[in-house]
Amino acid sequence: MKTLKVIIKQHENLWNQRCNRPGNSSESVELEFEVEDKKCPKTRLQNTYRGIETTITCDHSGNKQKPKFFCKDKDYICEDFLSNNSSLISDGRFSITDTESGFGVSISNVSPQDAGVYWCGVQSRDEKHIQTVLLTKIQLEVKRISFSTRSPTIGTNFTYWCGYKRADCDINCTKFICKGEDPYRCERLASTTEPDLNERFSMTDDTTEKNITITVREVTANDTGTYWCGAESRDQQHNQQFFHKLSINVGES
């Protein structure tokens, strides 16, 4: 048995023109659907963390100019966040940007209420007026994360470590450190596979004690910012996991 989920957006002007024309006493509208198995969306699990900014990507290559939509499942109704590609009708924490392969929706100051199922996609219509919708389904989970603040001084060497659990990283994963407010779009500085990716940052991994140690040589004022310790599996079906957030405030010596 298969379930078909229908999302209907009622635009008042269009509804009046097509469904409430003079002489049309019927209040019902007949809709015809054709479902193709190959276009049924798969659910993508995405983890995010309280108080940060996170981005949900909706990749539909080759459809950049098509109308976009983004909504959240709420009691069998998909609550619309965006309208006509640009009108923001949420609480102001959501913003949309175009990408090379589709678009992304950023959510600032993430809270537990943002968890849930989101749908995003693009719409197209052919010469026979048959509308095609390409969908992506995202299950967003909001988690807690450990947090610390450090204040090194300019010119010193600075070392800190991030502990992790076995559940955060299996034997096939890569641990890393990156910088940026959004952990899923942050700049990678070092990893267990590339420990000297940045000449001033180095990393070692103690798999017995389950912690990674990061050293920053000759700290500068530009090192102020937000850093994330995380892990990613070689299995592409698993998302990146983050297990510590560090805020560095560099001060004068």
What tens digit of pLDDT does each residue of 88-113 get? 444 678 888 877 777 888 888 899 99
Mark out the alpha helices in 70-117 (DSSP H runs). Answer: none
pLDDT at 165 (0 to 100): 79
Average pLDDT, the chain: 76
Range 205-220 average pLDDT? 91
The answer to whether 54 and 48 have CB atoms below 8 angstroms apart is: yes
What tens digit of pLDDT does each residue of 49-61 get? 888 888 888 877 6
The model's confidence at residue 6, banded by pLDDT at 50, 70 and 90, is low
- More confidently predicted of 12 and 184: 184
The model's confidence at residue 85, banded by pLDDT at 50, 70 and 90, is very low
Q: Is the pLDDT of residue 2 over 70?
A: no
147-248 under CATH 2.60.40.10, yes or no = yes
Which CATH number does the domain 39-143 belong to among 2.40.10.10, 3.20.20.70, 2.60.40.10, 2.40.50.140?
2.60.40.10
State which H helix or E strand residue 18 sits in. helix 12-19
Question: What's the whole-model pTM score?
Answer: 0.63
Exposure string over 111-136, b if 16+ CB within 10 A, otherwise e: eeebeeebbbbbeeeeeeeeeeebbb
Listed by start position, the domains of the chain span 39-143, 147-248
The answer to whether 153 and 253 have CB atoms below 8 angstroms apart is: yes
Which has the minimum average pLDDT: 140-144, 207-211, 230-234?
A: 230-234
Measured at the alpha carbon of residue 140, what is the angle toward residues 185 and 123, in degrees to the nearest 5? 85
State which H helix or E strand residue 15 sits in. helix 12-19
pLDDT at 57 (0 to 100): 84
What tens digit of pLDDT does each residue of 126-180 get? 666 555 566 788 999 998 888 899 999 999 999 999 988 766 566 668 889 999 9
Number of Cα atoms under 13 Å in the Cβ half of residue 185 = 13
Q: Amino acid identity, residue 182?
A: D
